[in-house]
Amino acid sequence: MTYYLISEHRQGLTAKEIAQHLGLSGRTVQRWLAAGTSPEAKKRRKKSSSFDEFAPYVLKRWQEGERNGQALWREIVAQGYTGSERTVYRHIETLKQASVQASLHPNRLRKFTASTAVWLFVRDKKSLDEVEQEDLATFCQACPTLKRTYDLVQAFMQMVGKREGHRLDAWLERVATSDLPELQSFAAGVEKDKAAVKAGLTWSINNAQVEGQVTKLKLMKRTMYGKAGFPLLRQRVLHAV
């Protein structure tokens, strides 16, 4: 509208002629030309919500570390809030997104080598310090593929830690439908010996003790560099028992 007024005026049209084109009064057009702009449409005022007065309290509790939406809803209900629980969850989701965006530091990711990034993905999130959690969040936000990879890796680590072998088939299906060739290659290896893998993810019985003793024995042999015979090896093994 402003551009049209100025353009028409510069072409020699009078305020009265412009007013006739726009269906306005001449005085209104003269006022707009004098101001150099037309009034913007008034913005709609945001409708007040019953949640507004409780929003500062929810923010305070969020900053204190409370992340349970139902718990926050119950707390403000005790203070007189009569709105829905869904409103509280929507507000929490906004706070969550703001927290993630505030913690993103893309430049810091350059310090990670492939091996250190993998180590970050396979560890339990609860064992990460604050900086490591920020870096992990940045990885997942920076690339959807990394987020899918992280979810699948963590799901497998949960199966290992909690012996949830019954979830293996569903996990293999998720990997098969993903676009992650590295994990698909790993899953193909699992498929070749799935019965044994599932048993290892389910039973508490394993051969870890045997494998540990074999590894110890091999280490002793290698440290001797083949320069000593069996009698010395026997003495070292017996001494280590």
Amino acid identity, residue 224?
A: M
Mean pLDDT of 207-214: 86
Residue 119: count other Cβ atoms within 10 Å of its Cβ: 12
Q: Is the pLDDT of residue 211 over 80?
A: yes
- At 85-121, the pLDDT tens digits run 888 888 888 777 655 554 555 566 666 777 878 888 8
% of the chain beyond a pLDDT of 90: 19
Mean pLDDT of 164-171: 93
Average pLDDT across the chain, whole number: 79
Q: Is the pLDDT of residue 14 over 60?
A: yes
Residues 6+ apart with CB under 8 A from 132: 120
Residue 126: count other Cβ atoms within 10 Å of its Cβ: 6
Q: Is the pLDDT of residue 197 over 80?
A: yes
Q: Is the pLDDT of residue 171 over 90?
A: yes
